[in-house]
Amino acid sequence: MVGCSGATSQSRFGSRAWAFLAAVLTACAGPKGTGPVAGDDSAATGDTASDGFVPFAVPLAGCSWHHTAAAVVGDAVQQVAIDSGSTTLAVSAVGCTTCEDAGVLALYDPTHGTDEGESAAGMYASGSGWSGEVYGDTVALSGIAPAALHFAAVSRSDMFGPSSCDADPIGSPSAVDGIIGLAPDVWLVPGTDSYVSTLAADGTIPDAFALRLCHVGGTLWLGGYDGAETTGGMTYAPIASGGLFDGAYQVSVYGFELLAEDGTSVAVAASQTGSALPALLDSGGPSLIVPDSAYVPLIAAISGDPAFAEIGDATWWAYGTPTVLSIPPTEFDTKLPRFIVHLAGGEGMTLSMPASESYLSAYANADGTYTYSPNLYSDALFHLEDYADVIDLGNLPMYSYVVYTDRANQQIGFAPAIPCP
């Protein structure tokens, strides 16, 4: 927790809409699920929180930094960003002029709820945030009965408003009216409640959730996951502790690998000592951050691949100048090396991601071209001198895998996901 003038506040290192990277780099409602339930997969290892329970499937809209779900807060229907890197629900409220000025149209009516007489504020690592008052009212995501919850009715914010996935008219702006956190209770703003913990405590769901993201949209499952959305078994890693993101959802990583189409590979240790490091999983953003000792050889290997010459050279990463090409990301994914993350906790336990869902960011333009930007960063860029070797995987594994967070058993599962529609 960090202090904000006149309010309690939440400091969240995960789920950053790293808007400031542009300057630093000088650049730019559904029903219950009906498929198999968690624990049914014979390839799974370890117990799960949700054996025998059919999870609630919540459809998502939006993309990139802002995958959103429809939430009924009091009597207002709002689109809230799904964020596994924070815990408190905060929504734009009537009277928030900065919200309205930013284009927010759906506002919570505080007269519908109870003012708890306590101020609150949330500050995120991007430097953006919100402030307001703690209110009590009912909250419901798609298909789930309303739950009584304490949350922040926001009166001032610089982080809500319409957000586009691609250039218009390809990607019409999606509403972002608030944010709902899925992280552990330790990250709660004082006076507020965790939505997931509240549902688990009253027996509505087992204490678990899962995410699968697409370039646009995706699915949040509460209480489990849908095995019909996977193509393989669920493999589990224990939730790791320590490091900059201690208390968040982390897994231990001991190395990275770039695997080329011809089978050649470049392997890099996560740390200079060769020991495993905790790595953050955060649904709120796609940036990939690795220790500088790993970043340097990874960038050299990617830049040295012949297919990468169409995008740039080794200097492209340092200056972050976007490259506009007619080549779609799917084509680069067949040419450029896959990014492999080696997890501690089991021999051969890896996460494999294509270039455009790991170290490259691709944005579709209205003229049929694509803008490519770096998506792999060194922890040294963020001046984290007080912390040794930071790894942030962001939401990137959630594009290739159904990522199942089993809070009850303190483990995170990964199962290869079926292709997005």
CA 363 to chain centroid, in Å, comes to: 18
Has residue 133 got a pLDDT over 60?
yes
pLDDT (average), residues 91-120:
97
Question: What is the structure's pLDDT at 46?
Answer: 43
Residues 355, 337 contacting (CB under 8 angstroms): yes
3-class SS of residue 398:
helix
Percentage of the residues of the chain whose pLDDT score is greater than 70? 85
DSSP string across 37-57: -TT--TT--S--TTTT--PEE
**pLDDT: which is higher, 198 or 272:** 198
Calpha distance 279→271 (Å, rounded): 12
Q: Which of 393, 391, 193, 383 is nearest to 284 (CA)?
A: 393
The region of weakest confidence among 61-75, 141-155, 165-179, 272-286 is 165-179
User: Using the 8-state DSSP alphabet, how is residue 187 labeled?
Assistant: G
- Bridge partners of 405, per DSSP, are 209, 412
Residue 346, Cβ neighbours under 10 Å: how many?
Answer: 11
In sequence order, the β-bridge partners of residue 324 are: 371
Indicate if the pLDDT at residue 399 is higher than 80.
yes
**What is the rounded average pLDDT for all residues in the chain?**
86
* pLDDT confidence band for 387 (50 / 70 / 90): confident
More confident residue, 336 or 348: 336
Residues 347-352: what's their mean pLDDT?
Answer: 85
pLDDT in the model for residue 18: 28
- d(Cα 179, Cα 142) in Å, to the nearest integer? 15
pLDDT at 58: 97
Where do the domains of the chain lie, and which CATH numbers do they carry? 8-30+56-204 (2.40.70.10), 237-416 (2.40.70.10)
pTM of this prediction?
0.88
Name 89's Cβ contacts closer than 8 Å, sequence gap at least 6.
Answer: 71, 73, 80, 139, 149, 151, 152, 178, 179, 180, 181, 192, 195
Residue 275's identity, in one-letter code, is S
Cα–Cα distance between 306 and 329 in angstroms, integer?
16
Checking if the pLDDT of 201 tops 90, the result is yes
- For position 164, what pLDDT does the model report? 81
Q: Which pLDDT does position 346 carry in this prediction?
A: 59
The predicted-structure confidence for 251-265, as pLDDT tens digits, reads as follows 999 999 999 988 999
pLDDT tens-digit series, residues 42-62: 333 346 767 789 999 999 998
